[in-house]
Structure 1
Amino acid sequence: MLRLIAFAALGALVGGVIVIAVGPSTVGYTVAGIALPVFIIATVLTLIARSVGNAVGASPEAVQQAKDARRLGVARIDALRQTGTQINDQPLCELDLTVQPLQGSAFASTMRTIVPLTAIPMFQPGTERDVAILLDGGPEVAFIDEGELSPAERARLRVPGRGSVPFIPVEPHQRIVDGRRRGPLLGVGRAGRPGRIALFTVVAVAAAAIVVVPYHRAVGQSFAAMQDGRLRPDLRRPEALADAQRALEEAIGHDRVASITVAADFIIVEAPRSAGDTKTDRWTYRDGAVTHDGAATTQPESTAEQFSWTDVALDRVWTLMQDGAEQVDRPVGDALAYVVRATDDDVHSPAFGRPAGPPEIMFSVGDDYGTTSFVADADGSGLTAR
């Protein structure tokens, strides 16, 4: 389970890094900031669990069951080695044991257990300790206090030499529950390694997908941008702008707008709350996601100031910017386009002085030495420098 958690955290971490690169960086940093410590903790605990892999997991119930069944014996400590791992500042030790049960044949084994520093003298080589044999035939044992064996039983038990008895290894990562060995949900042997790798890969990919899917538009656009040598999409270009328009229309619920601002990294739209309404809200498309920013700063006086997406050839914005930049021999740079109705200059019109004329595409191109403003008709024609 710890390994599953570690790989899930690893997948989330990768997903967070992807979102940092192509999506809302704050979301990516939040996900990565949570996933990284989880991954580290789960990995450390997994390594600790591996180091205690052949430590005998004996519950008090299992020890009591062994006592009740009189599965008792004497174990001689043949060797004690510290593994270098400490748990709660106490050393995890490896013990070579030779065990003589009350009933059955003697056997040798090696087990790992935590030996408190103050108890190390009790586990010096040659020391004999009473043990409960958790399963018939061993090799799992648990050290018990003296007194469980009667003096007569203790007197007749003689532990033979280690070399004269069979060696029975302790199966790693096993616990004794209800008189049976219970292993982890996922095996640790070589035979199951391909299946485990496949499972861990699926878990990591699924975790990464859960993080990334909400920003799939930004990811797709970024992959397309990489083909042009850019990490992030330029929303002024036709393909990215078309994706943004679809997402905004879907979020707004209709195609009426009062203004459109197109920049390389974001698009801002002021649109009525419903078609035919003058109450106008602001919507922002950034990093593949649409946010509703509440009421627009400037509210139109009439629906005549609104227009439809279809009234504007947004796919011409990038070409217009390139044409304008070429005319003044300056780069497009970070120029942004602004689409709004032209001011009605008919003095006899009730909408005189208000943005109620035909929609126009406006942008400026320049550098530190000067800026030139351009305006074009909504269909992308009539590009003129101001």
Structure 2
Amino acid sequence: MLRLVFSAAVGALIGGAVAALVGPPGAGVWVLAIAVPIGILSVVFTRLGASGLASTSVSQDDLTRARTEDRLGVARIEAVRQTGTQINDQPVCEIDVTVQPRRGAAYATTLRSIVPLVELASVRPGPAALRPVAILIEGGPEFGFIDGEVSPEEIAGLIVPPQGSVPTLAWPKAQRVVNGARRGPLLGVGPRGRVLRGILFTVVALAVAVAVVAPYSRAVVMTAQAAQDGRIGVDLRRPDELAVAVQALEDEIGHDNVSSVLIRSDFIRVEAPLTPGDTETDVWMYRGGVVDHEGAAPSQPDLAAEQFSWIDIALSKVWTLMERASAESGIPVGDASAVVSRGTDGDIDSETFGESVEAPEMFISLRTDYKNVSFRVNADGSGDLVSQ
């Protein structure tokens, strides 16, 4: 199970890295923050489990079962070594013991266990270091210390032979005794089935990665297409990327009416009415394949006539118009931006004088560290670029 958890953590790391790369700022950060510690912990506990880490304590059920099945005995501690590993500041030790059961042959074994610092004195080796034990499974070697749990009569007469005179039994790795029977991990650890396990771990990792990246699927596809064109990253001012972003905005807003559009390489900001023909206007932002609804616009329009449709904007010409502006000004396109809104009514005799109700216009801005220029052009791409 821990290996499945590790596979899921790896998938989350991959998905989080992809989301952070192609998604909006902050995308995937929370996934990485969770997946990293989970992955580390799963590796640590998997390694500890594989190393044969065991518990020297015995539950009441285990003790009752051992007493009923006559699996009590005594053990002499021959040696104790600290491995250098600590868990929760408590040392992991290797303990060499010789065990003499009430029923069956004696044997020697070595177990790895966490020994609390306050209990180190109780596992000192020596000829007199005899402790009662319950053997957890018929034939051993798994056992646990049961100091104070049995009467002297239950282990009377047991003599532990010299360590070198008995066979040595190794504790089975990656297994534990449950209800008197060995239980291995949910998935095996041996060579048999290794290919199928590898496939399972890969599938789990990919499934988690896909789940993490799914909210940013548009950005992933657009990034891949940009790479095919020899570009690093998405540029939302280019025709194909801009079309995808506009469709996502239209789907999220629920209609195609807008009152203001800002187009930049990495995001598109739109002010649009909640309902076409209504003046209550909110802000939507497309960035990294995701549309965010940011709430009410800072400045609310006075007239519904300030609204226009996406079809009034020559979306396929935005990049070309920026290149034309760059050629005329001598300033690279760089991080050029475009703003689209209706023109201002300049007829002093009109009821809407001074209001933004004329045909939509596009304002293209280019800049360097030393110079800023701006051009105006009809939003439908017709007419000439006019320097502002």
What's the TM-score bracket when you normalise by the shorter of the two chains? Answer: 0.7 to 0.9
- How many residues end up aligned between the 2 structures? 384
Read off the aligned partner of 2:121 and give its amino acid letter: T
Task: Name the aligned partner's letter for residue 75 of structure 1.
Answer: A
Q: How many Å separate the matches in 1 of 2:37 and 2:154? A: 56
Give 2:140's aligned amino acid.
G
Alignment CA distance shift 1:97-1:379 (3 Å): same
Q: What is the CA distance between 1:368 and its match in structure 2?
A: 4.1
Residue 130 of structure 1: CA displacement? 3.1
The verdict on how the C-alpha distance between 1:334 and 1:92 changes in structure 2, with shifts beyond 3 A counting, is: closer
Confirm or deny that 1:371 pairs with 2:383: no
Is the counterpart of residue 342 in structure 1 residue 343 in structure 2?
yes
Answer whether contact 2:55 2:144 (CA < 8 A) is retained.
Answer: no
Which residue of the partner structure matches residue 51 of structure 1?
Answer: 51
What's the counterpart of residue 385 of structure 1?
A: 386
User: Which moves more between the two structures, 326-335 or 362-371?
Assistant: 362-371
In structure 2, what is the equivalent of residue 118 of structure 1?
121
Q: Percent identity?
A: 51
- CA offset at residue 294 of structure 1? 1.9
Q: Deviations over 1:153-182 (max 9, x none)?
A: 633x44445555444332223332222222
Q: Name the CA distance, whole Å, in 2 between partners of 1:87 and 1:261.
A: 55
Q: Which residue matches 2:134?
A: 132
Query: What is the one-letter code of the residue matched to 1:285?
Result: Y
User: Structure 1 residues 158 and 226, CA, compared in 2 at 3 Å: closer, same or farther?
Assistant: same
- The separation in 2 between residues aligned to 1:163 and 1:195, in whole angstroms, is 43
Distance of aligned partners of 1:169 and 1:240 in 2 relative to their CA distance in 1, 3 Å threshold? same
Q: Quick one: distance in 1 between partners of 2:359 and 2:155?
A: 107
8 Å contact from structure 2 (residues 100, 106) kept in 1: yes
Whether contact under 8 Å (2:132, 2:155) holds in the other structure is: no
Corresponding residue number in structure 1 for 2:156? 154
Matched position secondary structure for 2:3: helix
96-105 vs 324-333, which deviates more? 96-105
Q: CA RMSD in A?
A: 2.8
Bigger mean CA offset, 6-15 vs 132-141 = 6-15
Q: Is the 1:256–1:272 Cα contact (8 Å) retained in structure 2?
A: yes
State the TM-score, normalizing by the size of structure 2. 0.87
Distance 1:153 1:375 in 2: 99
Counterpart mapping for 1:165-244 below 5 A: 165-228=166-229, 230-244=231-245
Residue 75 of structure 2 aligns with which residue?
75
Residue 131 (structure 1) shift: 2.4
* Aligned partners of 1:7 and 1:203 also within 8 Å: yes
- CA drift of 1:75 comes to 3.2
| Structure 1, unaligned runs of 5 or more | none
Cα 1:33–1:230 change in 2 (3 A) is farther
Amino acid at match of 1:250: D
- Whole-angstrom CA distance in 1 between matches of 2:247 and 2:57: 59
Structure 2 Cα separation of the partners of residues 271 and 147 of structure 1 = 77
| Aligned 8 A contact 2:58 2:146 in 1 | no
- Which of residues 143, 146, 171 is equivalent to 1:144? 146
The TM-score, its normalising length taken from structure 1, stands at 0.87
Change (3 A) 1:146 1:320: closer
Give the secondary-structure state (helix, strand or coil) at the position aligned to 1:110: strand
Q: Which moves more between the two structures, 357-366 or 255-264?
A: 357-366
